[in-house]
A and B are shown apart, each in its own frame.
Chain A
């Protein structure tokens, strides 16, 4: 079955840039979406269609795509950005949706 691979954890100091990657063979043909999830809360859409920022999401959040990897970039990380981040996409045929395993962003 199709899988999306994310690093389990990323750590950065406040003000630095965090990059979270998501890899999958179908990503050149399918859009990716990114969600932020804070403890005890539901996921919240951050980025849609690889690089479009969702309404109300700060400009420091951006998305990009290159081949089989998509990247969520958080520039000037703030303490409030500490959360789990999940990518979402579909298999090549669009038959089913999958989520990445999630990346825990720690702000040191």
Chain B
């Protein structure tokens, strides 16, 4: 069974940093594009970032560009999201997701998703 298990969330002060991890099991993540999506509790889903299979191509939503960095370690079958200069507007549940059929110019289904992890930015 393909599974994504997330870790690293929590409470951080405005201006602080946090790194999220997403460990894949049941499949070799190195073949696929991986994404981060976030959701303010009770609200909708918002795409955050993506990275291609060999980590040479990344892109970000405008709201996080320059502050967040997506990366991956295929040897560890793990995806990361480094979040710096956090603001209260970054408070959300963060999900990692696999996109098997995505490419640089094609968006496809996100399946599976990690369990989600809450990031709270507050003083």
Contact = CB atoms under 8 A, between A and B. Distances in A.
A63 to B, nearest CB: 12
Interface stretch (A11-19, A37-45, A69-77): A37-45
Interface residues of B, number: 20
Contact of A99 (B47, B111, B112): B47
B107 A97 contact: yes
B45 A99 contact: yes
Contacts of B123: none
A48 B109 contact: yes
Interface residues of A, number: 23
A96 B99 CA distance: 14
Contacts of B61: 96
Contacts of A30: 107
Contacts of A24: none
Interface string B66-108: 0000000000000000000000000000010000000001111
B106 A94 contact: yes
B115 A42 contact: yes
B106 A43 contact: no
Nearest to B102: A97
Nearest to A40: B116
User: Interface centre among A43, A45, A90, by most B CB within 10 Å?
Assistant: A43
Interface of A: 30-31, 33, 35, 42-45, 48-49, 54, 86, 88-90, 94, 96-102
Q: In the A-B complex, list the 9 residue pairs whose CB atoms are closest, starting with the nearest.
A: A45-B111, A42-B113, A99-B45, A90-B107, A48-B109, A97-B107, A101-B44, A33-B109, A102-B44
